[in-house]
Amino acid sequence: MITVTNLTKRYGHTLAVDDISFTCAPGTVTGFLGPNGAGKSTSLRMLTALTPPTSGTATVDGRRYRDLPNPGRVVGVMLDAAAAHAGRTGRETLQVAGEVLGARRGAADDMLERVGLASAAGRRVGQYSLGMRQRLGIAVALLGDPAALVLDEPANGLDPEGIRWMRELLQDFSRRGGTVLLSSHLLSEVQATVDRLVVIGKGKIVAEGDLAELLAGSGIKVRGLDPQGLHAALVAAGLNPTPLPDDAFTVDATPEQVGRAAAAAGQVLLELRAADGAGLEDLFFTLTAGTELADDKDVA
Ligand SMILES: Nc1ncnc2c1ncn2[C@@H]1O[C@H](COP(=O)(O)OP(=O)(O)OP(=O)(O)O)[C@@H](O)[C@H]1O
């Protein structure tokens, strides 16, 4: 169990993380989602004792990371896969990590096999692609056979096949009772992997809950032949339409209410269905507005 309670971090005048609280239960994969600069990395760094909190606490299995005698045996961590020692080979990286953890002999090679790096084990990490470093980072995190994983942007640099591999690995880990907390700045990247979401914007939690609930709780999507006429009809019926980019609207009402409002005004409907998480996407769009430059930097 990962428990974050009133966690806060201030850098001078910047409130990077502002009084956040949430828990991650065993057997679940939680996505920690937010745009660049929202406070994800700072939160994960506080959770893993790399940065002291200004106030609040973060614990894994009831203990702060820095109080764990052999933390890698309790929680596997990957915060910056690119930071691995470039001069070491993949095998050496895992052997060094294994010594710290007291892992059994042969664990490094078994793990290289598990993450698909066996054939690259003797190559220097400096020659690895970002995706290969992510795999190596996961291998280091898993090496101590921990019950929890904390991963900062694990999908970064992975190709679609790599993302699928990561998804299966994490879901398998959670099915065996493990607890996973992973961060991402892309909803689409983690949507198929996580069971729960904690959404953070400007240091504060702005949404939290089961993925299915967050995706479902977004009303009805409706699109008509005459968007302006449909908008006027919905407003006249006392409904409160929110415009979507494709000339459609979301409405917090039943399909029948929307259908009747449109019929009363003679409006032809082209689409009337559950909104598929458009509300969550809208929320994310609002949060990420203005951060495109930072996203481009990540891709480059
Ligand atoms: N060491 C630091 N000194 C001063 N400000 C910092 C420091 N680390 C982070 N910040 C600031 O805290 C805020 C949150 O940054 P953080 O890196 O946690 O966000 P993030 O959600 O992880 O974004 P990214 O995905 O870009 O890393 C930002 O405004 C950032 O500039």
Q: CA–CA separation, 278 vs 167, rounded Å?
A: 23
Q: Whose CA is nearest to atom 2 of ligand 1?
A: 11
275-288 residue pLDDT tens: 766 556 666 666 66
Ligand 1 lining (C-beta closer than 6 Å): 11, 14, 16, 34, 36-42, 185
Number of C-beta neighbours around residue 268 at 10 A = 11
Torsion of CA 249, 201, 60, 145, to 10 degrees: 70
CATH placement of domain 2-212:
3.40.50.300
**Whole-number pLDDT of residue 216:** 61
pLDDT at 123 over 80: yes
130 C-alpha vs ligand 1 centroid, how far in Å? 21
Domain 2-212 identical in fold to domain 219-275: no
Q: Which two tokens mark 267?
A: 């409006």
What is the CA 42 to chain-centroid distance, rounded?
Answer: 14
Average pLDDT over residues 175-195: 90
**Whole-number pLDDT of residue 299:** 38
Q: Whose CA is nearest to atom 14 of ligand 1?
A: 39
Bridge partner list, 116 = none
Q: Read off the pLDDT band of 265 (50, 70, 90).
A: very high
Q: Which CATH class is domain 219-275?
A: alpha beta
- Residue linked to tokens 């082209």: 270
193-244 residue pLDDT tens: 999 999 998 899 988 888 877 776 567 889 999 999 999 999 999 998 888 7
* Domain edges within the chain: 2-212, 219-275
**Whole-number pLDDT of residue 291:** 46
Average pLDDT over residues 129-136: 90
Q: Whose CA is nearest to atom 16 of ligand 1?
A: 39
6 C-alpha vs ligand 1 centroid, how far in Å? 18
Question: Which element (helix H / strand E) includes 114?
Answer: helix 107-114
Please identify, by atom number, the ligand 1 atom nearest to the C-alpha of residue 152: 22
